[in-house]
């Protein structure tokens, strides 16, 4: 932990704010001459160097080997975010862009993905949303032959969403067995969740009440097993806008960008991090190595839970980007998106 803001002199706070603002704007180290010329502070470069040295000794600034300028450390960014940042509320156009994506209709996950894409575009970060396991209710199920050994199982849920899975076929299974299996499942399982459907199928099979032949029966059991296994692996993490993480400043540190994109590929770990933000109502901000997942990539995550009408947490929305992201602008944007999704999902 760094010193509280109250322990810094007015002069130290002024210089520190200029360094942080410059870093968040362009990602480059800032030197004493630049601060003296551009900041409006009534201080000489020599005085500014002295203050910067003090801030470095306190662990709030660091000097890269390639430059005489200073950058804020992760500890310094935490001090700035917690004690000095002045939030900038989203503009009317930004709010409208988020709300229009959330309210465009269609399956819930499509609306979540569209809203996350809007947040990504406005924040210049990758957008993230985590929603809990959702119990799909079935409308119909069909099987389309792909080859003698495989078929495509097509599940249509009551909300209009469609999921496809490739299933293995027993040797010699006829096209008529595929049709029979699909007709049986659609007629018998419509309106049920996957768990309910699997329970009913197992009972009917055990009691000998399933009006279906052996080949089709095996296909029904295999199809439901696949979907039930997938459902147990939720929650669902949606990521949009990874390409926005590769900007001009990031090109100078391709290893960091590669590490970050690798982190995003490990969706289970990212989902676990977001899930930790479910407790409480406040926005959580994870800066760099404060979370071991992003220790190498030096990234920041801003996340906030959103709740339904019953007050229960439905999911978590947020962004991930470099530690130099514009916290004052992005934090309120994440807050507004969480409120918008709460209305959508409530």
Return the structure tokens found at 341. 């999704």
Give mean pLDDT, residues 227-233. 52
| pLDDT value for 59 | 94
| pLDDT value for 296 | 65
The confidence band for 223, taking pLDDT boundaries of 50, 70 and 90, is low
Instruction: Give tens-digit pLDDT for 334-345.
Output: 999 999 998 887
CA 74 from chain centre, in angstroms, equals: 21
Instruction: Give tens-digit pLDDT for 47-106.
Output: 999 999 999 999 999 988 766 789 999 999 999 999 999 999 999 999 999 999 887 766
- Alpha-carbon distance 157 to 135, whole Å? 10
Give mean pLDDT, residues 166-183. 83
More confident residue, 344 or 219: 344
Q: Is the pLDDT of residue 252 over 60?
A: no
Q: Which of 48-62, 162-176, 240-254, 313-327 has the highest mean pLDDT?
A: 48-62
| pLDDT value for 67 | 64
Return the structure tokens found at 309. 């009408």
Give mean pLDDT, residues 251-256. 61
The confidence band for 194, taking pLDDT boundaries of 50, 70 and 90, is confident
Residue 346 CB neighbours (<10 A): 12
The confidence band for 117, taking pLDDT boundaries of 50, 70 and 90, is very high
| pLDDT value for 256 | 65
Least confident of 8-17, 51-60, 211-220, 278-287: 211-220
Q: Which of 16-30, 154-168, 171-185 has the highest mean pLDDT?
A: 16-30
Least confident of 102-116, 263-277, 291-305, 317-331: 263-277
SS3 79: helix
Give mean pLDDT, residues 158-167. 77
Residue 320 CB neighbours (<10 A): 29
| pLDDT value for 232 | 47
| pLDDT value for 318 | 92
Q: What is the CA radius of gyration of the chain?
A: 27
Give mean pLDDT, residues 267-289. 82
CA angle 211/216/222 to nearest 5° reads 120
Q: Is the pLDDT of residue 1 over 60?
A: no
More confident residue, 332 or 190: 332
Q: Is residue 172 packed enough to be buried (19+ CB in 10 Å), middle (13-18) or exposed (0-12)?
A: exposed
Contacts of 311 (CB under 8 A, 6+ apart): none
Q: Is the pLDDT of residue 330 over 80?
A: yes
pLDDT cut 70: percent of the chain above it = 81
Helix 74-83 crosses helix 327-345 at what angle (to 10 degrees)? 60
Return the structure tokens found at 315. 């999911």
């Amino acid at each position: 932990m760094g010193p509280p803001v109250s322990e810094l002199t007015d002069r130290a706070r002024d210089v520190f704010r200029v360094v942080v603002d410059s870093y968040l704007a362009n990602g480059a180290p800032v030197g004493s001459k630049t601060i003296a010329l551009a900041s409006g502070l009534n201080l000489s470069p020599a005085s500014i160097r002295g203050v910067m040295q003090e801030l470095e000794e306190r662990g709030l600034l660091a000097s890269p080997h390639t430059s005489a300028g200073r950058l804020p450390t992760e500890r310094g960014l935490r001090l700035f975010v917690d004690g000095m940042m002045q939030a900038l509320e989203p503009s009317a156009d930004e709010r409208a862009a988020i709300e229009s994506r959330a309210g465009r209709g269609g399956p819930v996950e499509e609306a979540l993905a569209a809203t996350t894409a809007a947040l990504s575009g406005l924040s210049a970060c990758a957008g993230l949303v985590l929603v809990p396991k959702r119990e799909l209710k079935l409308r119909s199920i069909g099987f389309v032959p792909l080859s003698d050994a495989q078929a495509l199982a097509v599940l249509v849920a009551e909300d209009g969403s469609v999921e496809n899975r490739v299933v293995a076929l027993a040797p010699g299974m006829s096209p008529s067995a595929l049709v029979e299996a699909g007709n049986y499942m659609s007629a018998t399982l419509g309106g049920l969740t996957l768990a309910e459907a699997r329970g009913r199928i197992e009972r009917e099979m055990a009691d000998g009440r399933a009006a279906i032949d052996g080949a089709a029966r095996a296909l029904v059991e295999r199809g439901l097993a696949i979907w039930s296994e997938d459902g147990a692996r939720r929650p669902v993490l949606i990521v949009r806008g990874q390409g926005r993480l590769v900007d001009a400043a990031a090109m100078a540190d391709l290893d960091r960008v590669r590490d970050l994109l690798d982190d995003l590929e490990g969706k289970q770990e990212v989902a676990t991090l977001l899930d930790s933000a479910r407790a409480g109502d406040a926005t959580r901000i994870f800066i760099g190595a404060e979370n071991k997942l992003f220790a190498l990539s030096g990234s920041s995550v801003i996340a906030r839970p959103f709740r339904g009408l019953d007050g229960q947490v439905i999911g978590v929305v947020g962004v991930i980007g470099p530690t130099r992201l514009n916290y004052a602008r992005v934090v309120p944007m994440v807050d507004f998106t969480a409120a918008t999704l709460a209305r959508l999902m409530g």
